[in-house]
Structure 1
Amino acid sequence: MNAPPSARASIAQVFRSAGIVLRPAAAVPDHRPRGRPETMRKILHIDMDCFYAAIEERENPALRGKPVGVGGSSRRGVLTTANYEARKYGCRSAMPVFKAKELCPHLILVPVRFDLYRSESARIRAIFGRFTEKIEPLSLDEAYLDVSHLRSSGAAIARELRAQIREETGLTASAGIAPNKLIAKIASDWNKPDGQHEVTRDEVAEFMAQLPVGRLWGIGPKMRGKLNAMGIHTCGDLQRLDKLELAQRFGSWGLELHDLSRGEDTREVRTESIRKSVSCEHTFPENIQTLPALEPMLLAMIEEVREDLERKHSNRLIRSLVIKMKFSDFTRTTAEKAHAELDAHLLKELLAEAWKRGQNRPVRLLGVGVRFRDPEEKQQLDLF
C-alpha cells in the first residue's frame, strides 16, 4: 500500500536528519546483468567461410566462380583448404594434390600466404572485441564468443557481427548460436556458407535427438560405422544406451558419448588466462595414410602456433615441443622433447617418431604444440 503524502514527507525528513539523501529511482545505476541469468548462456561459434580461399578470391577477383585450392604446390603436397566450387568436385582440406587433380583437373592451386591470413584474422578478432571480451580463438578462422551479458538475442548479435565482418573485410562468416560450445559449433555448420543457425535451450533435446551421430565431435567414418552396425544412427538412438553399456563397449570414450549425445557441455569460453601450453589440432576428413602426406599439414600448423605465440605469448619461455597423433583406431601417442624454440626441423623428427609408434596406422588427428615454463621459473632465470 502506498503511503500518504504526509507520511512520505516525514520519512524523507527522517532520512535527511540521518544524513541519508534520497534520490529518484531513475537516477540509480542499473547493475543488473544484461540479458539472461548466468545459467542461460549465449555462446556463438563463428566460422569464416573457406577463409584462406576467400581471401585469395578477394585479392584476385579472377578466381571467383572457379575451383581453387590453397597450398599443395607439388603433387606430393596436400591442400590446406578448397573453396566451395572445388568442394563440389570432392576436393577437401588435407587431400593429396594428386587426388584433388584427379577429381578436378582444372583446379587452380595458389600458394599459402600466412602473413596475409594472420593479418585478416587480427582484423576479425578486433570486430569480435566490440561485442565481448570473452573470446576463445580455435584457429585463424574460427572462435567461440560468450555474449551472455548482452541484452540482445544471440541471433541478433550474430547477424550484426557477421554484417560488420562482411562490410569491413569483404569476407563472409557462418555462426552457430546455442547455450553451450558443443551445440554452437555443430550449429555453425548448419547454414553454411554465409548463414547462421540458433538452437535455444528449449530446442536442445529435439535438436540432439534427431542429430546424426556422425555430427558429434570425435566420431569419424570408422566409429560411425561401428555405431550404425549397432543400429545407432542418431543421437536419440545413442541416448537409449546407459552409461554402463557405453563404457563396456567403448571405455572412457563411451562415458563422453553419453554426455555428448544429450548436448551436455559445461566448458567455459576460455579467454587470455595464463596458459601452460599453446597448440593447434586438426582432425582430417579422411584418415592420412602416409608420413609424407602429413608433413605439409605439420608446416601449416606450425605457422598457426607461431602466430599464436607472437600475438599473445611473446614473453613466455618455451619448455618443450609436442606432437600429438590420434590413429584410426582412436589410440593416441604424444612425442615430446625439451627445446626452447619453435623448431620445424625438430617437430618433423617428433612427427616421424609418433608415426613410427603407430606402426603405419592411418592418422585421423594431428596436434602440434609447445609447453611453457612456469612464470615463477622464468623469474628465477631472470635473476641469473
Structure 2
Amino acid sequence: MDKVIMHVDMDAFFASVEVVDNPKLKGKPVMVGGTTERGVVSTCSYEARVFGVRSAMPVFMAKARCPEGIFLPVRYERYKEVSNVIFSILHEITPYVEPLSIDEAYLDITDVNDKPIEVAKFIKNKVKKETGLTISIGISYNKFLAKLASDWNKPNGLKIITEGMMPKILFPLPVRNVYGLGQKSAKKLNDIGVFTIEELYKLPKELLIEFFGKYGSEIYDRIRGIDKRKVEISRERKSIGRETTLRTDTEDKEELKEYIWEFAVDISETMHNKNVSSKSITIKIKTASFVNHTRSKTLNYYIDNAEEIYKEACSIIDELKLDEKIRLIGLSVSSLKENKIEQLSFY
C-alpha cells in the first residue's frame, strides 16, 4: 500500500498569533523579531511580504522596504502555547507525527480510515476554531512532495500531489523548490543554465553526483517522485545553541567572551534539563558585511557544565582572525549523548 504523507505548516505563524491576539493589526504589515535597527525579522505577515520583506532580513532593510510596517518583539512562550494546541489536534489524527519546528510537522496518515482530503479539512477547521489561525496542508505519497504541496497555494492552502501527476507537475517550478537545494546550490545550477525542475530533470545522474556528491543521487530521485524517508515520531536533537546580534559592531574578543559566558550558562542549564552531554563546540560569527563564519572544536570527552563549555569556546575565539568587526555572535554544542545513570547494587 502506498504511503499517505501529510505536511502541515502554519501560515506566517508568529505574526498570525500577534494578529489574533490584537485584531487591530489585521490587514497590516506586521513583522515579528528584533525591534532595533540591528535585529532581524523572524516572521512577517503576508501584507509585509508584498513589500519584499522576508524572514531573516535585517530590520533596517525591512524598514526601508516597508516604512509603515509594525515591528513587534518575539513572544516565544505565547507561540509555544498556541503550538501545543495545534500539535494536540494533530495527535488526535495519528500518533505518527514528526515535528519539524514549532509550526510545522509531517503526519503519516496511511492507516487513518478517513479520506486524506477529509482529514485535512478536519485539521484546518479545528485549528481555526481553537486558535483563530489558518494552516496550509500538502498531501502526497512521500515527504518531499507533501512539503512541496503545502507551499503550493499558501496561505490557507490545500494541495494533493498524486503519483499520476508526476513528474510534469514539477517541471515549471524553479530548482530552489527542490528540498535539499539551498541558495548556493541553486545558483550553481543557474550558472550552467538550469533554472527549472524540467531542465534539472534532463541532467544525467552522473552530473548531479559530480555537482553535489552522493547527495546528487537523492536530488535525481526526488524530482522523479522517489523519497524513502519515513515519518519519525521522535526526532533526535542534534544541537543546542544561542546567538545574538550585538548592540554595536565590535572586534574586541573580551567583549565577545562576555556573551559567550551568558550563552554557556544558558546552554548548560538546557543540557542538564535534557540530561545530555556534548563533545563538539561551535562558534558562529556574522561580520559587519553580513558574512557568516563558523569554527568548531571536537573533544575526546563529553562535557555539560558552563565552565568547560566557556573554556573551550574561548579557545576557539582566541584563534579567530578578525579582519572586520562582528555584528552577531553565537555558540552551540552538538554531538550530544544522553547521560545514563547507573544504579548501584546493594549486593
TM-score, normalised on structure 1?
Answer: 0.69
Quickly say closer, same or farther: Cα 1:368–1:162, change in 2 above 3 A.
Answer: farther
Instruction: Tell me if 1:318 matches 2:282.
Output: no
Letter in 2 for 1:198: I
2:75 and 2:312 map into 1 onto residues whose CA distance is 21
Quote the offset at 1:367 in angstroms.
10
Whether the 8 Å CA contact 1:317–1:372 is kept in 2: the answer is yes
1:357 and 1:238 map into 2 onto residues whose CA distance is 40
Instruction: Tell me if 1:252 matches 2:214.
Output: yes
Q: Residue 31 of structure 2 aligns to a residue in which SS?
A: strand
1:112-150 CA distance string (max 9 Å, x none)? 111111111111110001100001101101001110001
What's 1:199 paired with? Answer: 161
What's 1:168 paired with? Answer: 130
Quickly say closer, same or farther: Cα 1:196–1:341, change in 2 above 3 A.
Answer: farther
Whether the 8 Å CA contact 2:239–2:336 is kept in 1: the answer is no
2:162 and 2:155 map into 1 onto residues whose CA distance is 21
**Root mean square deviation of aligned Cα:** 4.0
Aligned length: 313
Quickly say closer, same or farther: Cα 1:341–1:186, change in 2 above 3 A.
Answer: farther
What's 1:190 paired with? Answer: 152
**Percentage identity across aligned positions?**
35
Question: What is the 5 A alignment of 1:1-384?
Answer: 37=1, 40-272=2-234, 275=236, 277-279=237-239, 316-320=275-279, 323=282, 334-335=296-297, 338-340=302-304, 349=313, 370-374=334-338, 378-380=340-342, 383=344
1:54-91 CA distance string (max 9 Å, x none)? 11111111111111111112111111111111111111
Letter in 1 for 2:174: P
2:333 and 2:151 map into 1 onto residues whose CA distance is 27
Q: Which runs of 5+ in 2 are unaligned?
A: 242-248, 325-329
Quote the offset at 1:357 in angstroms.
9.2
Quickly say closer, same or farther: Cα 1:372–1:254, change in 2 above 3 A.
Answer: closer
1:211-258 CA distance string (max 9 Å, x none)? 321211233444323323323222232222222222233333322321
Letter in 1 for 2:79: Y
Whether the 8 Å CA contact 1:323–1:347 is kept in 2: the answer is no
1:359 and 1:92 map into 2 onto residues whose CA distance is 29
1:222 and 1:315 map into 2 onto residues whose CA distance is 35
Deviates more, 1:169-178 or 1:248-257: 248-257
Whether the 8 Å CA contact 2:138–2:150 is kept in 1: the answer is yes
Q: Residue 133 of structure 1 aligns to a residue in which SS?
A: coil
1:2-51 CA distance string (max 9 Å, x none)? xxxxxxxxxxxxxxxxxxxxxxxxxxxxxxxxxxx2xx111111000011
Quote the offset at 1:322 in angstroms.
5.2
1:90 and 1:207 map into 2 onto residues whose CA distance is 27
Letter in 1 for 2:275: R
Letter in 2 for 1:150: V
1:259 and 1:145 map into 2 onto residues whose CA distance is 22
- Runs of 4+ in structure 1 over 6 Å off: 357-360
2:214 and 2:295 map into 1 onto residues whose CA distance is 17
TM-score, normalised on structure 2?
Answer: 0.76
Quickly say closer, same or farther: Cα 1:210–1:251, change in 2 above 3 A.
Answer: same
Q: Residue 379 of structure 1 aligns to a residue in which SS?
A: coil
